[in-house]
A = this chain, B = another copy of it.
Amino acid sequence: MSLGEFDIIARYFARQSARGDVLLGVGDDAAVLDTQAGRKLVVAMDTIVEGVHFLADSDATDIGYRAVAVNLSDLAAMGAEPAWMTLSLSLPRANEQWLSGFASGLFELADEYNVALVGGDTVRGPLVVTVQVAGWVEADAWLTRSGAKPGDLLFVSGIPGEAAAGLAVIQRSMLGGEAAAFLKHRFLRPRPRIELGRQLRTVATAAMDVSDGLVTDLRKLCAASGCGAQLNVDALPESAAMRELFEADDGLQYALAGGDDYELLFTLPADRAAAVLSELQLQQRVTQIGVMTGGEPSVQCLRDAQPFRIRRAGYDHFNTGEAGS
């Protein structure tokens, strides 16, 4: 059975939303949305490509989930509350089973965070998924990468490295029972740290989400803030599942350079950090992993108080052997 573009949209993506601010949703030339006085609109757009951001034989549900998760993670890093999204789906064939799985993954986090799909485009082409999310922050209070100051304490949420370890488990078809399943899940189902971002919104001096690897992303935060960072490798949160399946050194590389964590990296003023964290009563585990320093906007990793070199840097889509001209 052949599905036209309109059938696809009607069957899988046109849903009634409970949001009263969607004045006109999927199906016209554009969506019409109501805005909120005194709040600022926050928008992020992320694209995932088959074979680059997800494995070529990935489950459609996982692809749909990831397309939303990576975008919500950007809103989390701004301290924003998600509201709407648009979807561009380029796919080679209109396969009903695939579309059904994709849509269920797409709406999993969208429903949890009350994000309405308000529009987009469905085209024939290579498998490339782009989502744009929009959300709100209260006036004049959002998180950026650029506010860290020398002396600020550096924190990360969750356990960096578990996602990269999970990818290794999948790629090597590793056995390993519950630990393997746990790590795979960490890779396939990243949790955007929306609640944490909302809590940090007025107290963190800088924040960003960790998607390309902890050290690579920390360098970006340093560059944006114009200061350096000392990262204490010994302070990194340990993963029981990674300890079970990987050598300690490999685990460390995943934590520092693995990517796909979608955790929040953020800074707090040293003199208020303890009080802030105790007041916030965070549901999400956060760990102090270093301190911001003066001087060059670079990252120094320390292990046993000695400089420590990571084996590989994080992922930059264009700085690979294949790219460049």
A residues lining the B interface (CB < 8 Å): 1-8, 23-24, 27-37, 39-53, 74-75, 77-78, 80, 84, 86-88, 90, 93-96, 118-126, 128, 130, 132, 134, 137, 142, 144-146, 207-209, 220, 224, 316-320, 322-325
Contacts and interface: CB of A to CB of B under 8 A. Distances in A.
24 contacts: A2-B324, A4-B319, A5-B318, A6-B220, A6-B316, A24-B142, A28-B78, A29-B44, A30-B78, A35-B35, A47-B88, A47-B90, A47-B121, A47-B125, A48-B123, A49-B125, A49-B126, A51-B125, A94-B323, A94-B325, A95-B325, A124-B322, A125-B126, A130-B130
A322 B118 CA distance: 29
A84 to B, nearest CB: 8
A250 to B, nearest CB: 26
A49 B95 CA distance: 19
A43 B33 contact: yes
Contact of A49 (B53, B87, B90): B90
A120 to B, nearest CB: 5
**Stoichiometry (number of copies):** 2
A30 B74 contact: yes
Given A45-B88, A123-B52, A318-B8, A78 B40 contact: no
Contacts of A319: 2, 4-5
A26 to B, nearest CB: 11
Nearest to A45: B86
A239 B125 CA distance: 33
Contacts of A49: 90, 123-126
Nearest to A87: B45
What are the 4 tightest A-B residue pairs by CB atom distance, in nearest-first order? A2-B324, A49-B125, A30-B44, A29-B77
Contact of A124 (B28, B44, B137, B318): B318
Given A132-B86, A145-B28, A43 B4 contact: no
